[in-house]
Amino acid sequence: MLKTPLYETHLAFGAKMAPFGGWMMPIQYQGILAEHAHTRQGVSVFDICHMGEFKLQADPVLSGLDHLITQNIISMPFGSCRYGFMLNEQAGILDDLIVYRINKANWMIVVNAATISGDLAHLKENLSAGCSLENVSDKMAKLDVQGPQSLDVLKKIFGEGIGKLNYYTFSEFIFDQETCIISRTGYTGELGYEIYIANDYVGRLWKLLLKDSRVLPAGLGCRDTLRLEMSYPLYGQDLDINHTPLAAGLEKFVNFSKDFIGRDALVREQKNGPKEHLIYFQADSRRAPRHGFAILDKGRQVGTVTSGSFSPSLGKGIGMGYVAGNYDIGAQLVVKQEATEIPVRIVKKPFLKKTSLYELRINT
Amino acid sequence: MNIPKNIFYTKDHEWARIEGKIAYVGITDYAVHSLGDITFVELPKIGKELKQSAYCATVESVKAASDVFAPLSGKVLTVNTQLVTNPELINQSAYEKGYFFSMEFSNEAEKANLMDAASYQKYVEGISK
């Protein structure tokens, strides 16, 4: 089991640790509900060192990089990030990732922890021999600072300049004479930042962040409830090689005006419509749908829950899952496992519509 | 770990406080700590006949759902309806405000299958090792 540079720090803080994607990660400190609420109202710091980072020096066209990603990366301004997918020829999702364009030919690609080696093999196989690809996951740490107060907290450490970052842009900042990358991105639905910094410096940064009495550590437990309330998919649960971006309803992250691996299969799928659709549903009770529960329509199974939980913000059970066929918003279904039956209603995503992410995006 | 004296415990981490023929039932501090924040409880119906060690209630935390088993056999008298809207009472007060229900138990001899505080303390320490 792998450990992040902050492993001992978490233990000393009394965190509950559990395996996640091959890593021993902090699931909670004071409690999932308290950490969830603090992220929505204040500011939390998350140890996300398990995620993968690749650095790439390559011309986006000549190297074949643009051909590997569903988004158009040639048009990306320097200092911007873009969320997209790597697909196989059948348009199955190999990973969801964020591409960072540092300058004309320098890139950082941020991928899921469990898919690092698979992604690396896929990139090596498809990129031209001339470009340099380095897996820096073992050297690079990542902290997410998320919540409506995150900007105020980070200004104190990195200076006023961080206020200039728009949503899905990044810049280099100095911490302890070390250069780090900070992007205005996140997985919580709040105003937030992701900080990429060398392993040797992350302990000091973590400590400094927590010196600010507004900041509390938060674990992967509330990261999951926070992202689920925003309907953000989790790779390995809601996205996988058996589903396409069309089935997941995420075609806005696919650019059909260019060629990429999996495009032909997606175009074919578009003609007839995907066999399955990712739907979002809410229970009227506090009872939580769970991963693996069956989704029933009038007693007949039509799909399976991929993610589900109690929503701390709504006080209701929420979830998502793939169903065969087309269902409208408002349709009534049942999720079931053994004797547990939860009536649910299909809702429009996201579950939570008012957060600091939306409020502050309007201003920038 | 809070393990009050004068109440009885099961291996599945339920507790029973016995007052005459009536037992008040809940889950222990140890159970609450392993579950984390409790978000939902399904209580038995009043009048339901329970069997010792058989399923009687469900408790859900953010991460998982768990079954609760009856510490004794008998009939459910009252249920703590406050838990329906405020399941966090179980986290805040596992042995008082967070009790699940009361029951009229039918077989005195079943008490022999329960642990006292000292035995339960040892049992829990054994699990933690």
A28 touches chain B (CB under 8 A): yes
pLDDT at A361: 55
Please name which of A288, A214, A292, A251 lies closest in space to residue A39, comparing C-alpha atoms.
A214
Interface of B with A (CB under 8 A): 36-37, 39-40, 42, 58, 60, 62-65, 87-88, 91
Q: Is residue A164 part of a domain?
A: yes
Contacts of A16 in chain B (CB under 8 A): 36
Contacts of A28 in chain B (CB under 8 A): 36
Q: Is residue A127 part of a domain?
A: yes
Question: Looking at A193, A209, A229, which one is the last position of a domain?
Answer: A229
Task: State the average pLDDT for chain A.
Answer: 96
Same domain assignment for residues A205 and A311: no
Strand (E) or helix (H) holding A154: helix A150-158
Query: What CATH number is attached to the domain comprising A104?
Result: 3.30.70.1400
Question: Looking at A87, A117, A135, which one is the last position of a domain?
Answer: A135
Same domain assignment for residues A214 and A310: no
Please name every residue paired with A43 in a beta bridge, in sequence order, or none if there are none.
A215
Same domain assignment for residues A46 and A58: no
Q: Is residue A265 part of a domain?
A: no
**What is the average pLDDT across B24-40?**
96
Query: What CATH number is attached to the domain comprising A348?
Result: 2.40.30.110
pLDDT at A79 over 60: yes
Same domain assignment for residues A29 and A90: no
Question: Looking at A118, A135, A152, which one is the last position of a domain?
Answer: A135
* Nearest chain A alpha carbon to B58: A340
Which tokens belong to A132? 């340099």
Same domain assignment for residues A286 and A362: yes
Nearest to B37 among A31, A290, A317 (CB): A31
Residue A346 CB contacts under 8 Å (≥ 6 apart), including other chains: A279, A280, A281, A327, A328, A329, A330, A331, A333
Please name every residue paired with A181 in a beta bridge, in sequence order, or none if there are none.
A172, A196
Q: What pLDDT band is residue A362 in, cutting at 50, 70 and 90?
A: very low
Compute the distance between CA of residue A107 and CA of residue A121 in angstroms, rounded to an integer: 17
Q: What is the pLDDT of residues A193-241, one digit of tens each?
A: 999 999 999 999 999 999 999 999 999 999 999 999 999 999 999 999 9
Compute the distance between CA of residue A154 and CA of residue A142 in angstroms, rounded to an integer: 15
Q: Is residue A240 part of a domain?
A: no
A positions 306-335 inside 8 Å of B (CB): 309-310, 312, 317
Q: What residue has token string 């809601």?
A: A238
Compute the distance between CA of residue A14 and CA of residue B32 in angstroms, rounded to an integer: 16
Chain B closest-CA separation from residue A94 CA (Å): 27
State CA A358 to chain mean position distance. Answer: 17
pLDDT at A129: 87
pLDDT at B1: 84
Domain count for chain A: 3
**What is the average pLDDT across B27-33?**
96
**What is the average pLDDT across A58-68?**
95
Compute the distance between CA of residue A213 and CA of residue A156 in angstroms, rounded to an integer: 13
Scanning A13-115, the segments in alpha helix (DSSP H) are 32-41, 65-68
CB contact under 8 A, A32 and B37: yes
Same domain assignment for residues A17 and A57: no
Same domain assignment for residues A73 and A45: no
Q: Is residue A123 part of a domain?
A: yes
Q: Is residue A321 part of a domain?
A: yes
The span from the first CA to the last CA of chain B, in angstroms, equals 15
CA separation (Å) from A83 to A64, A80, A104? 18, 10, 18
Please name every residue paired with B57 in a beta bridge, in sequence order, or none if there are none.
B68
Chain B closest-CA separation from residue A50 CA (Å): 21
Cα-Cα-Cα-Cα dihedral sign, residues A3, A188, A147, A313: negative
Same domain assignment for residues A145 and A225: yes
Q: Are A113 and A3 in contact (CB under 8 A)?
A: no
Same domain assignment for residues A174 and A320: no
A285 touches chain B (CB under 8 A): yes
* Nearest chain A alpha carbon to B36: A31
Contacts of A310 in chain B (CB under 8 A): 39-40, 60, 62
Please name which of A327, A324, A276 lies closest in space to residue A301, comparing C-alpha atoms.
A324
Nearest to B60 among A34, A225, A288 (CB): A288
Structural domain containing residue A343: 276-364
Please name which of B14, B1, B2, B26 lies closest in space to residue B115, comparing C-alpha atoms.
B14
Same domain assignment for residues A357 and A297: yes
Please report, as a single letter, which amino acid is at residue A99.
Answer: V
DSSP-derived secondary structure letter, A169: B
pLDDT at A46: 98
CB contact under 8 A, A221 and B62: yes
The number of residues in chain B equals 129
**Best to test chain B binding among A32, A291, A293 (most B CBs inside 10 Å):** A32
Same domain assignment for residues A310 and A362: yes
Same domain assignment for residues A33 and A12: yes
**What is the average pLDDT across B32-54?**
96
Q: Is residue A259 part of a domain?
A: no
pLDDT at A360: 60
DSSP-derived secondary structure letter, B63: S
Dmax (CA) of chain B = 40
- Interface contacts (A, B; CB < 8 Å): 44
CB contact under 8 A, B36 and A225: no
Q: Is residue A241 part of a domain?
A: no
**What is the average pLDDT across A291-318?**
98
pLDDT at A363 over 60: no
